[in-house]
Amino acid sequence: MGVDIDKKRVVTVCGDGGCGKTTLVEDILFLTKKITRKGSTDKGNTTMDFDSEEIERKISLQLAVGNTQWKKHLIYFIDTPGYHNFIADALCGIRAGDSVLMVVDAKDGSKAQTERLFAEAQREKKPVLFYLNGLDKEDVDVNAAVDSIKNDLSEKAFLLHFPIVENNEFKGYVDILEQKAYDYEKGEIDVPSNLSDMLEEKYMELVEEISTYDDELMEKYLEGEELDKDVLVKTLKIAIEEASFYPITIGSALKGLGSEQLLNSIIDLLPAPKEEYDKDVALVFKTYNDPQLGKMSLLRVCSGTFSSDSNYFNVNKDQEERLGALQLMQGKNLSKTEEATAGDIVAVAKLKVTQTGDTISTKGSDIVCDFVEMPLPFISYAVYGTSKGDEEKLGAAISKMIESDPSLKFERNDETKEFILTGMGAMHLEVTASKLKSKFGVEATLKLPKVAYKETIKGKTRSHGRYKKQTGGHGQFGDCVIEIEPLSRGGGFEFEDLIVGGAIPKQFIPSVEKGIKAAMEQGVVAGYPMIDIKIKLVDGSYHPVDSSDLAFQMAGSIAFKDGVVKCKPVLLEPVVEMEVYVPDENMGDVIGDLNSRRGRVLGMEPYEDKKGYQRIRALVPQAEILEYAPSLRSITGGRAFFKYHFSTYEEVPQQIAEKIIEESKQEKEG
């Protein structure tokens, strides 16, 4: 695109839900004359929130890319969703960008989601520039916001500008390094006298910090010499690139104040892309796939040059992939470009084998770019088509949606025979269902998934089953004696043949077993499959003509059904082992909540990966955690997270079993 690599910037805009990211990108596109009218997310006419569901909900649901020029630089913005339900695209965006612009609502300060995103940026070793937004709001306390960033995220975060507020109105800013004041309308002004002490203090603090990154600067600083702003900025830039220093700027995206200074900070302080490899390499970090856009893959070029209408190679899939027209994206608007080089982001339509996360290169290349590990999904619902036709279209539509949203999972549960949709939160799945309807015309209902209850026995018995039909022509005769006894948990099913002397002919022994297994599938307590049972086949008799496979299946089934009711049958429920990661101060509440869910805490210990967090391990019945995610969020303000895996089956307590039995009765009758 004719821009030198060192004059490019790829900036991922992140931050908590509703902090003003999309508004900020819109303001920048307007300021730099990429668009002629500044839209707003409230009116649903911004460049970045172009999807119909985003317009309706007034929030970003997926990442979107824009680009602009500023002082001969080409800047790409990746606007990402803030709400935790849609974090997948924020993670993909962080991976694809060279730095993170972390927007923080100055009124709120850092929040749980800011913490999460900042941790991701650190993990990816991306420099972070903070932008305190909403300075136009009444009674904003910038120092409090900065303190929250320092306390929650990093002590190495420092203001570069602080606001000039007159009569509760945000008028301008003081540039701390320059030690100069500016009015957004009038330009440079004298530093207001009431702010000069503050400037002095913040200047010292900032310069002292910057000096720690450069010996020469430190010496000059200690000797009290005047320090050149350019030298300070140069040093600062290195510290920022190493992600050991985090600058903070300020503004109001809504009022269009501060965007110019932000753009200057982006080109002065954030790093340019680097040629990462000696081959043509691009990372596919996003796929749109809906009827509106068709399939559209977004490529971040990591190195080399990509040309339109040329053959390339998908390294992950080990297959050729032809790229058609390369296009620049401004939200949903496309414009063709012949070439893309390192640092560019281009969209390509209708790729055949390529999915999000794949690396595109030239044939023979074995470079695979790392991609984001998707966050742990939180919540599952069963999906039902509203009508028969919908049921059939459901699978196809959902797999298209998964292409554009890798945090979504869809699978059939063999036990409950339900189709299960798993995602990041209830809202994520509701939006998915809504998109199914608005984009794919498939109406789906979400329900809490069924729990795969089982049944077993606690006692043993001996039982006789005889199937005899000897009227009319060819008769039926099967006869067996079995012993039924419980196995320990996880024992499954055992069948022991103890027939001696041919009481039942060899070929009919599997028939007895088959009949018993079929009977076990429909348990006797509430109709759930039975497990952990041992059968001994001890005796039987046969008829030389009338005995058959079917007759012995029947005999086995009768023997089992008659006997099992005498073996103290009980209901079992799946129990999961959970790991819940909780801030220290929420420990008590979270454990209390787990107890109220019939959970048993196995242990707790400090969590080594996250300061101030504990890891709780607990066994909890699955039925009690179907809606755990939202409840844990509300207890911990969104700071905790959890994972779980199936552990074992355990007997359901009597009172609860009665309810389940009643429900299963009603379902059968209904």
The entry of ligand GTP, Mg ion, none near residue 429 (CB within 5 to 8 angstroms by kind) is: none
Which one, 22 or 148, has the nearer CB to ligand GTP?
Answer: 22
Q: How far is the CB of 54 from Mg ion (least distance, A)?
A: 8
**C-beta separation of 472 from 447 below 8 A:** no
Told to check if 425 binds ligand GTP by CB under 6 A, we report no
Instruction: Please pick, from the candidates 12, 47, 60, 327, the single residue that binds Mg ion as defined by CB under 5 A.
Output: 60
Told to check if 586 binds Mg ion by CB under 5 A, we report no
Which one, 23 or 547, has the nearer CB to ligand GTP?
Answer: 23
Q: What is the enclosing helix (H) or strand (E) of 583?
A: strand 569-583
Which one, 89 or 390, has the nearer CB to ligand GTP?
Answer: 89
Q: Which long-range contacts (CB under 8 A, 24 or more apart) does 42-51 make?
A: 46/22, 46/331, 47/330, 47/331, 47/333, 48/22, 48/79, 48/331, 49/22, 50/331, 50/332, 51/290, 51/292
Candidate segments 52-60, 411-419, 489-497, 578-586, binder of Mg ion by CB under 5 A: 52-60
Instruction: Please pick, from the candidates 50, 76, 77, 83, the single residue that binds ligand GTP as defined by CB under 6 A.
Output: 83
Q: CA 24, CA 514: separation in Å to the nearest integer? A: 67
Which one, 14 or 342, has the nearer CB to Mg ion?
Answer: 14
Instruction: Please pick, from the candidates 8, 9, 21, 435, the single residue that binds Mg ion as defined by CB under 5 A.
Output: 21
Q: How far is the CB of 252 from Mg ion (least distance, A)?
A: 16
Distance of CA 440 to the CA centre of its chain: 23
Query: Residue count at the site for Mg ion (CB under 5 A)?
Result: 3
Candidate segments 11-19, 456-464, 469-477, 617-625, binder of ligand GTP by CB under 6 A: 11-19
Which one, 40 or 476, has the nearer CB to Mg ion?
Answer: 40
Residue identified by tokens 């409840």 is 631
If you write DSSP's letter for every residue of 205-220 in order, what string do you get? HHHHHHHTT-HHHHHH
Q: How far is the CB of 57 from ligand GTP (least distance, A)?
A: 8
Which one, 57 or 450, has the nearer CB to ligand GTP?
Answer: 57
Q: CA 399, CA 403: separation in Å to the nearest integer? A: 6
Told to check if 46 binds Mg ion by CB under 5 A, we report no
Q: CA 493, CA 540: separation in Å to the nearest integer? A: 21
Which one, 41 or 636, has the nearer CB to ligand GTP?
Answer: 41
The closest residue (CB) to ligand GTP is: 82
**C-beta separation of 36 from 330 below 8 A:** no
Q: CA 60, CA 81: separation in Å to the nearest integer? A: 5
Told to check if 22 binds Mg ion by CB under 5 A, we report yes
Candidate segments 76-84, 183-191, 462-470, 510-518, binder of ligand GTP by CB under 6 A: 76-84
Instruction: Please pick, from the candidates 89, 98, 136, 358, the single residue that binds ligand GTP as defined by CB under 6 A.
Output: 136
Query: Residue count at the site for ligand GTP (CB under 6 A)?
Result: 23
* Binding residues for Mg ion restricted to 347-386, rule: CB under 5 A: none
β-bridge partners, 360: 282, 314
Which one, 21 or 95, has the nearer CB to ligand GTP?
Answer: 21
What's the DSSP call for residue 507?
Answer: G
Q: How far is the CB of 12 from ligand GTP (least distance, A)?
A: 13
Told to check if 134 binds ligand GTP by CB under 6 A, we report yes
Candidate segments 14-22, 181-189, 263-271, 642-650, binder of Mg ion by CB under 5 A: 14-22
Exposure class string for 122-159: b at 16+ Cβ within 10 A, else e: eebebbbbbbbbbbbeeebebeebbebbbebbbebbbb
Q: How far is the CB of 580 from Mg ion (least distance, A)?
A: 30
* Positive or negative: CA dihedral 589, 594, 597, 599: negative
Which one, 133 or 148, has the nearer CB to ligand GTP?
Answer: 133
The entry of Mg ion, ligand GTP, none near residue 246 (CB within 5 to 8 angstroms by kind) is: none
Told to check if 177 binds ligand GTP by CB under 6 A, we report no
Told to check if 377 binds ligand GTP by CB under 6 A, we report no
Q: How far is the CB of 89 from Mg ion (least distance, A)?
A: 11
Q: CA 562, CA 463: separation in Å to the nearest integer? A: 7
Told to check if 84 binds Mg ion by CB under 5 A, we report no
Q: How far is the CB of 48 from Mg ion (least distance, A)?
A: 6
Told to check if 82 binds ligand GTP by CB under 6 A, we report yes
Distance of CA 224 to the CA centre of its chain: 51
Q: CA 552, CA 482: separation in Å to the nearest integer? A: 12
Told to check if 137 binds ligand GTP by CB under 6 A, we report yes
Which one, 161 or 435, has the nearer CB to Mg ion?
Answer: 435
Q: How far is the CB of 56 from Mg ion (least distance, A)?
A: 14
Instruction: Please pick, from the candidates 1, 3, 5, 17, the single residue that binds ligand GTP as defined by CB under 6 A.
Output: 17
Q: CA 641, CA 490: separation in Å to the nearest integer? A: 29
Instruction: Collapse the DSSP code of 284 into the 3-class scheme (helix H, G, I; strand E, B; otherwise coil) and give the result.
Output: strand
3-state SS record for 147-206 = HHHHHHCCCCEEECEEEEEECCEEEEEEECCCCEEEECCCEEECCCHHHHHHHHHHHHHH
Q: How far is the CB of 36 from ligand GTP (least distance, A)?
A: 19
Told to check if 249 binds ligand GTP by CB under 6 A, we report no
Which one, 114 or 154, has the nearer CB to ligand GTP?
Answer: 114
What's the DSSP call for residue 451?
Answer: P
Amino acid type, 392: E
The entry of Mg ion, ligand GTP, none near residue 252 (CB within 5 to 8 angstroms by kind) is: ligand GTP
Candidate segments 79-87, 145-153, 211-219, 492-500, binder of ligand GTP by CB under 6 A: 79-87
What's the DSSP call for residue 530?
Answer: B
3-state SS record for 222-258 = HCCCCCCHHHHHHHHHHHHHCCCCEEEEECECCCCEC
Mark residues 34-63: x for contact with ligand GTP by CB under 6 A, - for none. Answer: ------xxx----------------xx---
**C-beta separation of 346 from 336 below 8 A:** no
> In the chain, what are the helix, strand and coil shares in percent, each to the nearest 5?
30, 35, 35
Nearest of 496, 487, 492 to residue 457 by alpha carbon: 487
Instruction: Collapse the DSSP code of 605 into the 3-class scheme (helix H, G, I; strand E, B; otherwise coil) and give the result.
Output: strand
Told to check if 12 binds Mg ion by CB under 5 A, we report no
Instruction: Please pick, from the candidates 9, 11, 22, 146, the single residue that binds ligand GTP as defined by CB under 6 A.
Output: 22
Which one, 82 or 523, has the nearer CB to ligand GTP?
Answer: 82
Q: How far is the CB of 228 from ligand GTP (least distance, A)?
A: 33
Q: How far is the CB of 386 from ligand GTP (least distance, A)?
A: 29
* Binding residues for ligand GTP restricted to 579-618, rule: CB under 6 A: none
Q: CA 214, CA 410: separation in Å to the nearest integer? A: 53
Candidate segments 158-166, 246-254, 371-379, 638-646, binder of ligand GTP by CB under 6 A: 246-254
Nearest of 327, 322, 347 to residue 337 by alpha carbon: 327
* Positive or negative: CA dihedral 45, 51, 56, 57: negative
Task: Enumerate binding residues for ligand GTP (CB under 6 A).
Answer: 15, 17-23, 40-42, 59-60, 81-83, 133-134, 136-137, 252-254
Task: Enumerate binding residues for Mg ion (CB under 5 A).
Answer: 21-22, 60
